[in-house]
Amino acid sequence: MTALPTPDADTFVIEPEGLSALVEALCHEGYRVVGPSVRDGAIVLGEIASANELPCGWTARHEAAAYRVERRDDDAVFGWAVGPHSWKQELMPSRVRLWRASSAESVEEEPPPGRPLALFGVRSCDLHAIAIQDRVFLEGRYVERDYALRRTGAFVVAVDCGEPGGTCFCASLGTGPRADAGFDLALTELVSTEHRFVVRVGSDTGREIARLLPVRAATDADLEAALAVTDEAAGRMGRRLEAGGLRDLLAGNLEHPRFAEVAERCLTCGNCTLVCPTCFCTSVEDVNDLADGSAERWRSWDSCFSTEYSYIHGGSVRRSPRARYRQWLTHKFGTWHDQFGTSGCVGCGRCITWCPVGIDVTEELAAIRAGDGEVDHAHAR
């Protein structure tokens, strides 16, 4: 790999071929690089070994209960919004073994991953989601061991969003579209004239990786163009949400008729919790092998939309779809503040796109704020 000296400034420019150098450098440093690629009709996350696997020239269209990928008329690599996968699947896999016991005296915890993670292409909303997961799993009284093992040493390549989706509303929550913290390197893709990436360094580790890349100094024109990308994206959000006072609003409207109206459509399938980058509920299952007497403990994703989730002795305490939807919405936008000091939503819009019946949280919250169960749909959008 041919490299040029990194400029003294913490902002510089790489050409499109610099992405290949970046992926190559991360692999060379021992990271397992996970990034986006087009597969099975969607832009999904998975291990990549080359920048050639990135979704160059593709975009995605998002609406309530609707998603499709299609070709762009340029070679933008990141000209799309978030996909169905969030980085939760890497930092907190949907099913993982916690330990195995061959006898009462021999208990083996699951070993740490063989290689540290490099998360390639993290959007600002997902950076905020990772920060929320860190608060939940690392900063409380008890540290979640498996999450800590995967999160420690993870390298984050963020990408500023220049193409918001039809269900995005991160600008309403202050979580995007420009990455502000939580990254090692952050890229802003410029495609209007010369195709290039403005790169910002966010950590010492990021600076060391940058020294392995072919770079040039960023000009004032580069920096202005990069800011214009996210400024324009903020004005083209597919949805809007009035976020102020939601905690108190929901606490004062627990019997609002809108919850019953939503329950008539809600399938309680749990899709919204599965695609949500901040939902963290899990269940634990113990498995015994009668042949050799061993036992294993597995952790799996769970959802507050299942009746079993709220089961206590005697049955579930949230038997109706209305009760389960209310629990999810009031926790996400209300009582999450009491627990963790922040909203549980980052405005990625995944729950709207991948709800099979198109339930839209921005519309539901606007209806509750309106007080009469009705909402101007155009206002929410």
Residue-wise pLDDT for 322-377, tens only, equals 999 999 999 999 999 999 999 999 999 999 999 999 999 999 999 999 985 444 44
Are 123 and 228 in the same domain?
yes
- Shared domain for 215 and 260, answered yes or no, is no
267 domain residue, yes or no:
yes
Alpha helices in the chain (DSSP H): 17-28, 88-91, 124-137, 145-151, 170-173, 204-210, 220-234, 246-251, 257-263, 271-275, 321-330, 336-340, 350-353, 361-370, 377-380
Last residue in a domain, options 199, 234, 269? 234
The residue among 120, 134, 148, 91 whose CA lies nearest residue 209 is 120
Per-residue CA distances from 195 to 14, 26, 222 (Å): 9, 22, 11
Do both 45 and 99 map to the same domain?
A: yes
| Full-model pTM | 0.92
The verdict on 109 and 214 lying in the same domain is: yes
Do 49 and 173 belong together in one domain? yes
> Where in the sequence is the domain holding 340, given as residue range(s)?
246-380
Q: What is the pLDDT of residue 6?
A: 47
User: 39 and 116: one domain?
Assistant: yes
Q: Is residue 6 part of a domain?
A: no
Q: Are 250 and 127 found together in one domain? A: no
Same domain, 97 and 19: yes
User: Is residue 375 in some structural domain?
Assistant: yes
Is 239 part of a structural domain of the chain? Answer: no
The residue from 192, 214, 234 where one domain ends is 234
Q: What angle do CA 350, 139, 27 make, to 5 degrees?
A: 65
The count of domains in the chain is 2
pLDDT of 143 = 95
Q: What is the pLDDT of residues 72-120, one digit of tens each?
A: 999 999 999 999 999 999 999 999 999 999 876 789 999 999 999 999 9
What is the predicted pLDDT for the residue at 52? 97
Residues 128 and 269 in one domain: no
**Of 205, 234, 263, the domain-final residue:** 234
Domain presence at residue 4: no
Output the pLDDT for position 5.
45
The C-alpha angle 317, 322, 323, rounded to 5 degrees, equals: 25
- Write the CB contacts of 305 (distance below 8 Å, at least 6 apart in sequence): 268, 269, 270, 272, 273, 324, 325, 328
Predicted local distance difference test score (pLDDT) of residue 9: 60
For residue 148, tell me if it sits in a domain: yes
Mark whether 253 and 229 lie in a shared domain. Answer: no
Q: Is the same domain home to 136 and 229?
A: yes
Same domain (yes/no): 142, 111: yes
Amino acid letter, residue 87: W
Distance in angstroms (rounded) separating the CA atoms of residues 18 and 287: 48
What pLDDT score was predicted for residue 117?
Answer: 98
Q: Which residues of the chain, if any, have pLDDT below 70? A: 1-9, 104, 372-381
- Note whether residue 274 is domain-resident: yes
Q: Is residue 3 part of a domain?
A: no
Report how far Cα 148 is from the mean position of its chain's Cα atoms: 17
